[in-house]
Structure 1
Amino acid sequence: MPPVPTSVPASPVIWLALSAAAMLVSALIHGLAGERRLLRPLLALDDGIMANPLARRIFRFAWYATAVLMLLSAATILWPGTPGGLILLIGSGWLATGLANALYTRGRHIIWLALVAAGLFALVGGWP
């Protein structure tokens, strides 16, 4: 009788699902907390660039466009048949962004850990 393995390696799909979940959390925190803690206070200003109505609309649009792109990354990670190289590229981008965020903000920005986790999970799940 063959020996029973003490641990079973996790399926790449699990790692990709964890990556997509971290991306979803990042998008939600970015949208909800960012609206309350950054967008509203900035849009309440009526001087400098924030006095320009077009700039105000572009700022809000760009803020939420970023969250949409985060969600598209999550969908791409989970999409059946996504090439492994693309998964690795997306994972590397999220990991690099999270690490740069952590260094630049000295770990004080709320989302850096979710960005790093999304990247690492994608790299583990997409590794050949």
Structure 2
Amino acid sequence: MTLTALAAAAMVAAALVHSLIGERRLLAPLLAGLEPQDFAVRAARFAWHATAVLMLLCAAAVAWSATPRGLVLLIGGGWLGTGLVNAAYLRLRHPMWLLLAGAGILTIAGAL
């Protein structure tokens, strides 16, 4: 398995963890007590899961052999940067930073 395939797998894992576990452990408690049909609740839930869709699109772009190398490097840099900012901002308390940064590193290494 190539490094970019591993990176894409890590991105898919991140999308699933974000969408499924994040919904249950973070988003639902934040929205508890609000009306389910309230605009803010619906917008927050949409944005939360749209992020997971964008993660899956990144995985597809990284795994697709016809994606320009520069774009793959840009995606990898974005994932690595997001992971590092997550680690610093949340003081290493949110373990997702490892998956985000790891996917970025694998992506960059695979593109080089």
TM range (shorter): over 0.9
Q: Report deviation, 1:52.
A: 7.8
Q: Report deviation, 1:110.
A: 2.3
Deviation readout 1:3-32 (Å, 9 max, x if unpaired):
xxxxxxxxxx61001110110111111011
Counting aligned pairs with the same residue, the percent is: 56
Indicate the SS of the match to 1:38: helix
Runs of 4+ in 1 over 6 A off after TM superposition: none
Q: 1:92 matched to which residue of 2?
A: 77
Mapping of residues 1-128 of structure 1, within 5 Å: 14-46=2-34, 53-127=38-112
Contact 2:36-2:42 at 8 Å conserved across structures: no
TM-score, normalization: structure 1? 0.83
Indicate the SS of the match to 1:107: coil
Using the alignment, how far apart are the partners of 2:100 and 2:26 within structure 1?
19
Using the alignment, how far apart are the partners of 1:124 and 1:51 within structure 2?
44
RMSD: 1.6
Using the alignment, how far apart are the partners of 1:105 and 1:39 within structure 2?
17
Using the alignment, how far apart are the partners of 1:19 and 1:51 within structure 2?
36
Q: 1:5 matched to which residue of 2?
A: none
Is there any run of 5+ residues in structure 1 with no aligned partner, and where? 1-12
Count of paired positions: 112
Using the alignment, how far apart are the partners of 2:53 and 2:6 within structure 1?
18
Using the alignment, how far apart are the partners of 2:54 and 2:47 within structure 1?
10
TM-score, normalization: structure 2? 0.94
